[in-house]
């Protein structure tokens, strides 16, 4: 078998590391084209050398000199800045792993989509913000989106060859995050260290906070709406603290198909790398007797309003999901920097959604404008806090 070409946008992150771990175990199967980071120049240089990448890019140009110094004499191309990132993303490859965090990943992901290739999408914020603009580009350019998010990958597997019109429900499972059993007073005093300590998954800081607020599930609700067009009223969320069932699809004949697996992102990533086949992973097999019990609860939207906000944003339509996402990114960054209380994150997002929302975005430029507006509004709200 000839090696397939791959680019990893966000190679220095948690999803990037899990992807590269699988590639490291199957070096003959892959030829690495582009690896990207924002500012982690040394880490990126080490990865580019190890995987013999064609090009390494730091999005933050201030880190280009150190990347250049680290890779001098290796023959590996280096570049810096947002334009260079998009140029690298637009190089034709067999598979692009879109694993940048936040709406910062949108433009490079769109550049990859415009090449008509296959994109393993982890960067949910890009799809939440761009919505129909992204799905229309996928259709126009004949690209393929494979969902990396464990829930969406589970749904994708459960849908397999079934018809979307036979679906009665799609159920997204949620762990409930580290504060699931906490009181309102405890949640109000939660620290960044407590919020990033997820009980089941080892992830980047931003998505860990999103899991703690349940905004992660809200973003996933919107992501599922775009990936699996069954209608918003057929999508629901259930809290499942063990994170063993990654999501479920119920059909009109009463059959429910679920995908189960360990809480290890290498499983859904492997499903995308090998699709439509399967590959080995080093993950331990499921030990159901050791797990013992699986439990399920309705989400508590009083304590965790983020899923309600996401539902309202997608029903509101227009640029509301992009505003929701941008406001959340700003508020989560402020929380992680110790500037606001945990419970303020949802307050900032809700206040932004009550402001004027631009009309339905028709292009990438419209989405990026809505994203900028959401960031400016959230920053202004934070300044008056």
Kindly identify the residues of this chain, within the stretch 310-369, that bind ligand NDP according to CB under 6 A.
none
- Close Cβ partners of 187 (under 8 Å, ≥ 6 residues apart): 179, 303, 342, 343
CB 108 within 8 A of CB 34: no
Which residue among 21, 26, 39, 77 contacts ligand NDP (CB under 6 A)? 39
Distance of alpha carbon 121 from alpha carbon 153, whole angstroms: 10
Q: Does 37 bind ligand NDP (CB under 6 A)?
A: yes
CB of 122 to ligand NDP, least distance (A): 3
Q: Tell me which of 13, 147, 305, 361 binds ligand NDP, using CB under 6 A.
A: 13
- Between 124 and 234, whose beta carbon lies closer to ligand NDP? 124
Residue from 47, 130, 265, 273 binding ligand NDP (CB under 6 A): 265
Confirm or reject binding of residue 203 to ligand NDP (CB under 6 A). yes
Interface with ligand NDP includes 101 (CB under 6 A)? yes
Q: Which stretch binds ligand NDP (CB under 6 A): 10-18, 66-74, 86-94, 186-194?
A: 10-18
Per CB under 6 A, does 35 bind ligand NDP?
Answer: no
CB atoms within 10 A of CB 212: 29
* Smallest separation, CB 44 to ligand NDP (Å): 7
Full 3-state SS string of the chain: CCCEEEEEECCCCHHHHHHHHHHHHCHHHEEEEEEEECCCHHHHHHHHHHCCCCEEEECCHHHHHHHHHHHCCCCCEEEECHHHHHHHHCCCCCEEEECCCCHHHHHHHHHHHCCCCEEEECCHHHHHHHCHHHHHHHHHHCCEEEECCHHHHHHHHHHCCCCHHHEEEEEEEECCCCCCCCCHHHHHCCCHHHHHCCCCCCCCHHHHHHHHHCHHHHHHHHHHHHHCCCCHHHEEEEECCCCCEEEEEEECCCCEEEEECCCCCHHHHHHHHHCCCCCCCCCCCCCHHHHCCCCCECCCCCCCCHHHHHHHHHHHCCCHHHHHHHHHHHHHHHHHCCCCCCCHHHHHHHHHHCCCCCCCCCCHHHHHHHHHHHHHHHHHHHHHC
Question: Which residue in 169, 201, 251, 275 binds ligand NDP (CB under 6 A)?
Answer: 201
Q: For strand 235-239 and strand 167-174, is the pairing parallel, antiparallel, or unpaired? A: parallel
Residue 55 beta carbon to ligand NDP: minimum distance, rounded to whole angstroms:
15
Nearer to ligand NDP, 239 or 250 (CB): 239
Give me the residue whose beta carbon is nearest to ligand NDP.
Answer: 13
Angstrom distance (rounded) from CA 249 to CA 159: 7
Of these, 149, 329, 350, 371, which contacts ligand NDP (CB under 6 A)?
A: 149
Residue 384 CB, shortest distance to ligand NDP, in Å, is 26
Our finding on whether 213 is near ligand NDP (CB under 6 A) is no
Name the one range near ligand NDP by CB under 6 A: 47-55, 88-96, 98-106, 312-320.
Answer: 98-106
Tell me whether residue 205 or residue 360 sits nearer to ligand NDP (CB atom). 205
Give me 235's structure tokens.
């999508």
The binder of ligand NDP chosen from 22, 124, 159, 309 (CB under 6 A): 124
Binding ligand NDP (rule: CB under 6 A), the pick from 33, 45, 100, 330 is 100
**Residue 66 within binding range of ligand NDP, rule CB under 6 A:** no
Among 12, 157, 247, 377, binds ligand NDP (CB under 6 A): 12
Q: Say if residue 160 is exposed, middle or buried (CB neighbours under 10 Å; 0-12, 13-18, 19+).
A: exposed
- Out of 7, 19, 31, 40, point to the residue binding ligand NDP (CB under 6 A): 40
> Using CB under 6 A, which of the segments 35-43, 227-235, 247-255, 272-280 binds ligand NDP?
35-43
Which of 22, 55, 104, 145 is the binder for ligand NDP (CB under 6 A)? Answer: 104
Contact between 204 and ligand NDP per CB under 6 A:
yes
- If binding means CB under 6 A, how many residues of this protein chain bind ligand NDP? 27
Please give the residue ranges that form the binding site for ligand NDP (CB under 6 A).
Answer: 10-16, 37-40, 59, 99-101, 104, 122-125, 149, 201, 203-204, 206-207, 265
């Amino acid at each position: 078998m000839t090696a397939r070409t791959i680019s990893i946008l966000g190679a220095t992150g948690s999803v990037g590391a899990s992807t590269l771990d699988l590639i490291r175990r199957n070096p003959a199967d892959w030829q690495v084209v582009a690896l990207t980071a924002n500012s982690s120049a040394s880490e990126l240089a080490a990865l580019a050398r190890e995987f013999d990448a064609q090009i390494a890019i730091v999005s933050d140009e201030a880190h280009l000199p150190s990347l250049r110094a680290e890779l001098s004499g290796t023959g590996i191309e280096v570049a810096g800045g947002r334009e260079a990132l998009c140029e690298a993303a637009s190089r034709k490859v067999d598979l692009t792993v879109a694993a940048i965090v936040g709406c910062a990943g949108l433009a490079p992901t769109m550049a990859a989509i415009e090449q008509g290739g296959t994109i393993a999408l982890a960067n949910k914020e890009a799809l939440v913000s761009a919505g129909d603009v992204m799905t229309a580009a996928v259709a126009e350019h004949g690209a393929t989106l494979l969902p990396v998010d464990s829930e969406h990958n589970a749904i994708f597997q459960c849908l397999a060859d079934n018809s979307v019109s036979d679906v009665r429900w799609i159920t997204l499972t949620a762990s409930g995050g580290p504060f699931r059993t906490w009181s309102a007073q405890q949640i109000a005093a939660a620290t960044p260290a407590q919020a990033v300590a997820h009980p089941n998954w080892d992830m980047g800081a931003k998505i860990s906070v999103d899991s703690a607020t349940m905004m992660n599930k809200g973003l996933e609700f919107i992501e599922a709406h775009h990936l699996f067009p069954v209608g918003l009223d057929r999508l629901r969320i259930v809290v499942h603290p063990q994170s063993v069932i990654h999501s479920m699809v119920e059909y009109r004949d009463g059959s429910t198909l679920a995908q189960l697996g360990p809480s290890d992102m290498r499983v859904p990533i492997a499903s995308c790398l090998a699709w439509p086949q399967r590959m080995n992973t080093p993950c331990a097999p499921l030990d159901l007797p050791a797990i013992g019990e699986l439990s399920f609860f309705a989400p508590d939207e009083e304590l965790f309003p983020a899923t309600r906000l996401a539902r309202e944003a997608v029903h509101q339509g227009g640029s509301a999901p992009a505003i929701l996402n941008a406001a959340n990114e700003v508020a989560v960054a402020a929380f992680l920097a110790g500037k606001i209380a945990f419970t303020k994150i949802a307050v900032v997002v809700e206040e932004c959604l009550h402001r004027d929302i631009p009309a339905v975005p028709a292009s990438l430029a419209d989405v990026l404008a809505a994203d900028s507006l959401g960031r400016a509004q959230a920053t202004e709200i934070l300044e008056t806090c």
